[in-house]
């Protein structure tokens, strides 16, 4: 919901309260930190929440926001891998297969996303997010 409404909320804040997200960098970093803590524990929906935050705090280009999101999630994932590897709880063969798939899928989707208008990328991300949320509720509720 936050991702879908982020541009509208941002415009409302700008017009109504003279909001400039770039002047509120401390708030942006605090909210990101909270999302990272949540993501370190669970992770479901973390990327979409980050995209919503980036949109509200000045990253209007979805491709730019997505690249920032990918870099930060990669860092968090590497930290988690190090912690889990140290604990000896990683099943390496399935993990390496999933990492290869994620890498190839991410690399190929960058090519696709850059050739599609930003509005359609936003709608695609929103549709995928709603689908995954529905599946999560259905399976885990």
pLDDT in tens, 79-117: 888 989 999 999 999 999 998 998 898 888 888 878 888
* Planar angle of CA 13, 28, 99, nearest 5 degrees: 125
- The whole-number pLDDT of residue 5 equals 75
pTM of the model: 0.70
Q: How confident is the model at residue 1 (pLDDT cuts 50, 70, 90)?
A: low
6's tokens: 């982020």
Q: Are 36 and 86 in contact (CB under 8 A)?
A: no
- The whole-number pLDDT of residue 9 equals 78
- Is 95 in a helix, a strand, or coil? helix
Length of the chain: 141
């Amino acid at each position: 919901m936050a991702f879908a409404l982020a541009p509208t909320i941002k415009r409302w804040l700008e017009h109504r309260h003279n909001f400039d997200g770039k002047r509120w960098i401390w708030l942006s970093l605090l909210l990101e930190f909270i999302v990272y803590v949540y993501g370190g524990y669970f992770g479901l929906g973390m990327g979409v929440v980050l995209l919503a935050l980036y949109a509200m705090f000045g990253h209007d280009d979805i491709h730019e926001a997505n690249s920032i999101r990918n870099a930060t999630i990669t860092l968090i994932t590497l930290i988690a891998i190090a912690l889990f590897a140290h604990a000896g709880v990683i099943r390496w063969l399935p993990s390496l297969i999933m990492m290869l798939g994620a890498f190839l899928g991410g690399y190929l989707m960058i090519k696709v996303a850059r050739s599609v208008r930003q509005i359609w990328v936003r709608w695609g991300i929103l549709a995928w997010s709603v689908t995954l949320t529905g599946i999560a509720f259905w399976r885990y509720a």
